[in-house]
């Protein structure tokens, strides 16, 4: 039975799982993807946005007609903008100018005020996170969403994503893996699943250029290489990552993630972003590690339509030294 919701907010979460055929064959087990691209803002971040806004309302910090200010790679901004529109708030979104054009256009189209800043390291006050905090302080009747260190973010995944996965898998799940941006998804789903069954293996899938693989392996925050994946790749232990129950970790290259992005589109008809491809590559590694008959879940974070000007643009890919989708031609 399809449900009737009272407003858009009811559409957030309750996403289906899909069995991923090629990845399952490659790993020799069953791999499932949680279709977070089906959220109304087309990414996993709608869940965190809703929880952050509801939490701020309950604490009395967010008042009628207030403004929500946030620094984001884009998807959290899109989630916040649609939730804010539905509840009568405004949004100011601070984003590094290196993120995809589609996310910028989407945010402007949704009515968010968009502030673009140059990419800078976290230690620099010009970094988008610090800039957004400052803007929130300077703006009247505004709150700072603070997705990296506001644990309402991971609570969304403990209370919704993890529970959904457990019930959809009918309690038969051996492993879960995904990459971290804020860490809300991996920590929240990890903590939530361990409450059901502490034997479920929680694996961090880290892109190149991020420091968490080395941290969970040796205790040292150390990055290696780089990645064009948007929304993932963390260099510090955010409040959301504190106490995350990580049992094992994989480091995945953009090339390996792109292999699965290409496969999923051409052979399975799903158009995904690169963080989803990297998650799938991690899930294949986890499946090989846990063996045949294992049942693994990962996150399909956002839609590839958000990256038509980047991943699906052969000229952009050539600029980055990456292979275009084989059915596209450079300059064509
Ligand atoms: N993939 C994409 C495309 C994202 O935008 C994000 C959010 N930054 C993530 C993955 C990671 O999610 P989280 O912040 O929960 O770690």
DSSP string computed for 50-104: HHHHHHHHHTT-S-TT-EEEEE-SSHHHHHHHHHHHHHT-EEEEEEETTS-HHHH
- Please tell me which residue in 3, 25, 45, 320 is annotated as part of the active site: 45
Burial class of residue 225, CB neighbours in 10 A (0-12, 13-18, 19+): exposed
Mutate to test the pocket of ligand 1, among 36, 43, 44, 80 (most ligand atoms within 8 A of CB): 44
Active site residue 45: yes
Do 8-42+160-320 and 44-144 fold alike per CATH? yes
Element (H, E) at 131: helix 128-138
Q: Which atom of ligand 1 is nearest to the CA of 72?
A: 8
pLDDT value, residue 14: 97
Q: Ligand 1: does its nearest atom lie under 6 Å from the Cβ of 150?
A: no
Q: Ligand 1: does its nearest atom lie under 6 Å from the Cβ of 234?
A: no
Place of tokens 């260099």: 235
Q: Ligand 1: does its nearest atom lie under 6 Å from the Cβ of 212?
A: no
- C-alpha 276: how far from chain center: 8
Q: Ligand 1: does its nearest atom lie under 6 Å from the Cβ of 302?
A: yes
- Reply yes or no on domain 8-42+160-320 having CATH 3.40.50.1100: yes
Q: Closest Cα partner for 209 from 222, 220, 221, 225?
A: 225
Residue pair 288/27 in contact by the 8 Å Cβ criterion: yes
Q: Helices 75-87 and 101-109: crossing angle, nearest 10°?
A: 10
- Specify the long-range contacts of residues 103-111, CB closer than 8 Å, at least 24 apart: 103/73, 103/74, 103/75, 103/77, 103/78, 103/230, 103/306, 104/74, 106/74, 106/78, 106/306, 107/74, 107/77, 107/78, 107/81, 110/78, 110/81, 110/82, 110/85, 111/81, 111/85
Name the closest-CA residue to atom 4, ligand 1. 231
Q: Is the dihedral of CA 218, 220, 221, 222 positive or negative?
A: negative
Q: Which atom of ligand 1 is nearest to the CA of 275?
A: 1
pLDDT value, residue 2: 77
Domain 44-144 class, CATH top level: alpha beta
Bridge partners, residue 113, by sequence: 92
Q: Is the dihedral of CA 268, 270, 272, 276 positive or negative?
A: negative
The DSSP output letter for 225 is S
Q: Which atom of ligand 1 is nearest to the CA of 45?
A: 7
Q: Distance between CA atoms of 203 and 290, rounded to whole angstroms?
A: 11
Element (H, E) at 1: none
Q: Closest Cα partner for 212 from 244, 259, 254, 175?
A: 244
Distance from the alpha carbon of residue 181 to the mean position of ligand 1, in angstroms: 5
| Prediction pTM value | 0.97
> How do the pLDDT tens digits run along the chain, 332 residues long?
778 999 999 999 999 999 999 999 999 999 999 999 999 999 999 999 999 999 999 999 999 999 999 999 899 999 999 999 999 999 999 999 998 899 999 999 999 999 999 999 999 999 999 999 999 999 999 999 999 999 999 999 999 999 999 999 999 999 999 999 999 999 999 999 999 999 999 999 999 999 999 999 999 999 999 999 999 999 999 999 999 999 999 999 999 999 999 999 999 999 999 999 999 999 999 999 999 999 999 999 999 999 999 999 999 999 999 999 999 887 76
Q: Ligand 1: does its nearest atom lie under 6 Å from the Cβ of 33?
A: no
Name the closest-CA residue to atom 7, ligand 1. 231
Mutate to test the pocket of ligand 1, among 275, 280, 303 (most ligand atoms within 8 A of CB): 275
pLDDT value, residue 332: 66
Place of tokens 């309402």: 152
- Domain residue ranges of the chain, discontinuous segments joined by +: 8-42+160-320, 44-144
């Amino acid at each position: 039975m399809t449900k009737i919701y009272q407003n858009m907010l009811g559409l957030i979460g309750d996403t289906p799982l899909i069995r991923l055929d090629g990845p399952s064959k490659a790993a020799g087990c069953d791999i499932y993807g949680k279709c977070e691209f089906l959220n109304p803002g087309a990414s996993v971040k709608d869940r965190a946005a809703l929880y952050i806004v509801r939490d701020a309302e309950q604490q009395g910090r967010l008042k009628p007609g207030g403004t929500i200010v946030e620094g984001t790679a884009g998807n959290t901004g899109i989630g916040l903008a649609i939730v804010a529109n539905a509840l009568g708030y405004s949004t100011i979104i601070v984003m590094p100018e290196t993120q995809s054009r589609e996310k910028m256009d989407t945010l402007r189209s949704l009515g968010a005020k968009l502030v673009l800043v140059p990419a800078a390291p976290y230690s620099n006050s010009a970094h988008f996170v610090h800039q957004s905090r400052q803007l929130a302080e300077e703006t009247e009747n505004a709150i700072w969403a603070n997705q990296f260190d506001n644990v309402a973010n991971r609570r969304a995944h403990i209370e919704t994503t993890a529970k959904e996965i457990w019930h959809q898998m009918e309690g038969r799940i051996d492993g879960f893996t995904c990459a971290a941006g804020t860490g809300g998804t991996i920590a929240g789903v990890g903590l939530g699943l361990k409450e059901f069954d502490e034997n479920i293996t929680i694996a961090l899938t880290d892109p190149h250029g991020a420091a968490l693989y080395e941290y969970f392996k040796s205790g040292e925050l150390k990055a290696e290489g780089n990645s064009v994946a948007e929304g993932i790749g963390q260099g510090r232990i955010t409040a959301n990552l504190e106490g995350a129950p990580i049992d094992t970790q994989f480091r995945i290259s953009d090339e390996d993630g792109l292999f699965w992005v290409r496969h999923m589109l051409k052979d399975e008809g799903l158009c995904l972003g690169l963080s989803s491809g990297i998650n799938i590559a991690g899930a294949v590694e986890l499946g090989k590690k846990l063996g045949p008959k294992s049942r693994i879940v990962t996150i399909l974070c956002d839609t590839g339509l958000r990256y038509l000007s980047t991943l699906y643009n052969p000229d952009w890919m050539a600029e980055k030294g990456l292979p275009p989708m084989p059915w596209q031609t450079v300059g064509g």
